[in-house]
Amino acid sequence: MNTRDLQMFPEGGGWLLVEFGAETREEARQQAAGMIRELEGKEHVTGSKLFSDSAEETRIWEIRESGLGATARVPTEPDTWPGWEDSAVAPEHLGDYLREMRTLLNRYEYDGAFYGHFGQGCLHTRITFDLKTRAGIEKYRRFVGEAADLVLRYDGSYSGEHGDGQSRAELLPKMYGPELCEAFREFKSIWDPDNRMNPGKVVAPYPITSNLRLGADFRPAHPTTHFQFPDDEYSFSRASLRCVGVGKCRREDGGTMCPSYMVTRDEKHSTRGRAHLLFEMLQGDVISDGWRDEAVKESLDLCLACKGCKGDCPINVDLATYKAEFLSHYYAGRLRPVTAYSMGLIYWWARLASIAPRFVNTLMDTPVISSIPKRLGGIAAEREIPAFAVTSFRERFRQRKPRNVRGQTVILWPDTFNNFFHPETAEAAVEVLEAGGFHVKLPDSMLCCGRPLYDFGMLHLAKRQLRQIMDALRTEIEAGTCIVGLEPSCVATFRDELGNLFPRDEVASKLKRQTFLFSEFVHQHADKFDFPHLERRALVHGHCHHKSILGMEAEEKLFEQLGIEYDVVDSGCCGMAGSFGFEREKYDVSIACGERALLPAVREA
Ligand code: SF4
Ligand code: SF4
């Protein structure tokens, strides 16, 4: 969904995107302007707009590509399904075809938004078929038959862009005639006499209404879960139905989704493969071991929990959340792998190490000694354990005098990494916020959002951490104080997981609304800051949770304001993904993710 960018469109209830190509940009612009003049005042044309900036063009096409996601699941409206999603007629007949198709839909009391490639006469739509009852399935079958007759009256095709497959193959004799269909059969049998290649599709097809994903016997399990899935009617089972199978997660580069597929090229390590396995797990037919199933576990193992799918998938499949939920049940009542304790509990280890950080650092600098905790903790030998700060950020902050005590109060979130490893980053953030006149405070007690726990499905503990935060900050949250975070993963926990774990909790929803990434907060209060002009160049890698949950717009605006010329690397996920890159078994995949785009770009910079 691209609701933000929708405002770019002129007023209207439907939009036609027309692209002009020419020798020069000016020539193309003139052609477009000519068409807009021609259309002015025509019936049904409520407005037109010309986009000639390539960044805007990209955003416009992204809106078009969101058509599927935007229409598959509209809150409070019935779900829509494929079944008549790819028909095509000659472009000059498209208007008439669309009108007749709408009449047909109305007669069947179905609905479905139209989108597609109208220049080629191709119509995509998802329709509100009832595919869960016998009567609904029969009605769907009758509709498809009538839709086929309609498209054939226009000499069109059932499938303009994609294949016919089982959902339309039964109708092929109507389009090609029995003689040609017999020729298809004979031709296939020459190459595949035992009918082993893709049986039941095109030749001797299975009936349209067989092998439906839902069907009249669709009775998925409805297990009790930690996450509440408010966007899926509070049902994990419904969340597992999200994937519509278009396979955007199988692209081989570009965007964040899906790093594990990009480096393995294996369906079981793609968002789609995982989503379908979870769906099958709840169905219980093919996968019968439920939460303890090893095949599902194996498929989720290489998921980096980067949330690329939540941001990039047209239906926002959120595999990181499903993985955390699965692991919490898979490990219920049994020991987790050693990495869950060595890295999932990093907040507690860091607190312990902060008692004697110099001593711990000396040990970690000694190769023979440092190899022991690495070996015991399941950490890759190639990775270096970062050094602990001698004085934590909280301690350094405690030693400063409070400033701007009459200014607006903000709470700076002292995350585990900035607090125990990189206090200078948090100190710089304090300096900036104070330069804007803000009174910076830290939470009175030591807290952790629990982000590392999600990777290992330690959701009881994760919920406890969030509950502790809401109790500790209740007064400030209720007073509307903003919480500013530096680590995108922590901010993403408040903006994403928190609402999913406590969807009906008023304090949780306030905390979610009042938490900002440092860049967002500074951008929102830009009038309070005196920005220096830096005139520098930067190569920017967006953190994957940052890109998928928070968006990088605030950074981009601030870079421009600071006079920084920047290039955003299309790096997807860097491969570290919390503790993922540190884990011995995941090291190779992690490096492959980094080497895909980010590491070469950094070397070249
Ligand atoms: S969270 Fe990342 S790695 Fe996991 S399925 Fe989604 S995109 Fe792929
Ligand atoms: S460090 Fe890389 S993997 Fe981690 S969260 Fe960042 S971009 Fe994703």
> Tens digits of per-residue pLDDT, 527-566?
999 999 998 999 999 999 999 999 999 999 999 999 999 9
Identify the nearest ligand to the CA of 575 by its number.
Answer: 2
Alpha-carbon Rg for the chain in angstroms: 28
What is the average pLDDT across 435-460?
A: 97
CB-count burial class (<10 Å; 0-12, 13-18, 19+) for 561:
middle
User: Are residues 475 and 514 in contact, defined by beta-carbon separation less than 8 angstroms?
Assistant: no
| pLDDT classification of 584: cutoffs 50, 70, 90 | very high
In whole angstroms, what is the distance from residue 161 CA to residue 163 CA?
7
Around Cβ 17, how many Cβ atoms within 10 Å? 14
Give the Å distance between the CA of 576 and the centre of ligand 2.
5
Give the Å distance between the CA of 399 and the centre of ligand 1.
42
Q: What is the pLDDT of residue 345?
A: 96
Q: What are the structure tokens assigned to 223, written together?
A: 């297990």
The percentage of residues in the chain with a pLDDT greater than 70, rounded to a whole number, is 99
Q: What one-character DSSP code corresponds to residue 387?
A: P
Q: What is the pLDDT of residue 597?
A: 87
Contacts of 187 (CB under 8 A, 6+ apart): none
User: Are residues 324 and 454 in contact, defined by beta-carbon separation less than 8 angstroms?
Assistant: yes
Q: What are the structure tokens assigned to 254, written together?
A: 């570009």
What is the average pLDDT across 418-429?
A: 97
CA 539 to chain CA mean position, Å: 23
257 touches ligand 1 (CB under 6 Å): yes
589 touches ligand 1 (CB under 6 Å): no
Is the pLDDT score of 449 beyond 60? yes
Give the Å distance between the CA of 568 and the centre of ligand 2.
15
Interface ipTM: 0.78
Residue-wise pLDDT tens digits, 400-415: 999 999 999 999 999 9
CB-count burial class (<10 Å; 0-12, 13-18, 19+) for 462:
buried
Ligand 1: residue whose CA is nearest its atom 8? 258
Residue 541 alpha carbon, nearest atom of ligand 2:
7
Q: Comparing C-alpha atoms, which of 23, 11, 91 is closest to residue 49?
A: 11
Q: Which amino acid is at 192?
A: D
Residue 304 alpha carbon, nearest atom of ligand 2:
3
Q: Which amino acid is at 215?
A: G
Is the pLDDT score of 383 beyond 80? yes
Which residue in this structure is represented by tokens 């959701």?
459
Is the pLDDT score of 150 beyond 70? yes
278 touches ligand 1 (CB under 6 Å): no
Q: Comparing C-alpha atoms, which of 509, 463, 490 is closest to residue 325?
A: 463
Identify the nearest ligand to the CA of 319 by its number.
Answer: 1
Q: What are the structure tokens assigned to 157, written together?
A: 């095709």
Ligand 1: residue whose CA is nearest its atom 2? 306
Is the pLDDT score of 69 beyond 80? no
306 touches ligand 1 (CB under 6 Å): yes
User: Are residues 500 and 239 in contact, defined by beta-carbon separation less than 8 angstroms?
Assistant: no
The percentage of residues in the chain with a pLDDT greater than 90, rounded to a whole number, is 81
Is the pLDDT score of 67 beyond 90? no
Is the pLDDT score of 368 beyond 90? no
Residue 576 alpha carbon, nearest atom of ligand 2:
3
Q: What is the pLDDT of residue 39?
A: 92
Lining ligand 2 with CB less than 6 A are: 306, 543-545, 573-574, 576-577
Residue-wise pLDDT tens digits, 255-305: 889 989 999 999 999 999 999 999 999 999 889 899 999 999 999 999 999
Q: What are the structure tokens assigned to 312, written together?
A: 């990039």
Residue 572 alpha carbon, nearest atom of ligand 2:
7
CA 543 to chain CA mean position, Å: 13
Residue-wise pLDDT tens digits, 159-199: 999 888 889 999 999 999 999 999 999 999 999 999 999 99
The residue count for the chain: 605
| pLDDT classification of 96: cutoffs 50, 70, 90 | very high
What is the average pLDDT across 425-454?
A: 97
Q: What is the pLDDT of residue 510?
A: 98
Q: What is the pLDDT of residue 34?
A: 95
Is the pLDDT score of 3 beyond 70? no
Is the pLDDT score of 307 beyond 60? yes
Is the pLDDT score of 64 beyond 80? yes
Q: What is the pLDDT of residue 54?
A: 84
Is the pLDDT score of 319 beyond 80? yes
CA angle 408, 506, 311 (to 5 degrees): 85
Q: What is the pLDDT of residue 207?
A: 95
Beta 515-517 vs 482-485: how paired, if at all? parallel
Which residue from 262, 302, 304, 544 has its CB within 8 A of the most atoms of ligand 2, so it is best to mutate?
544
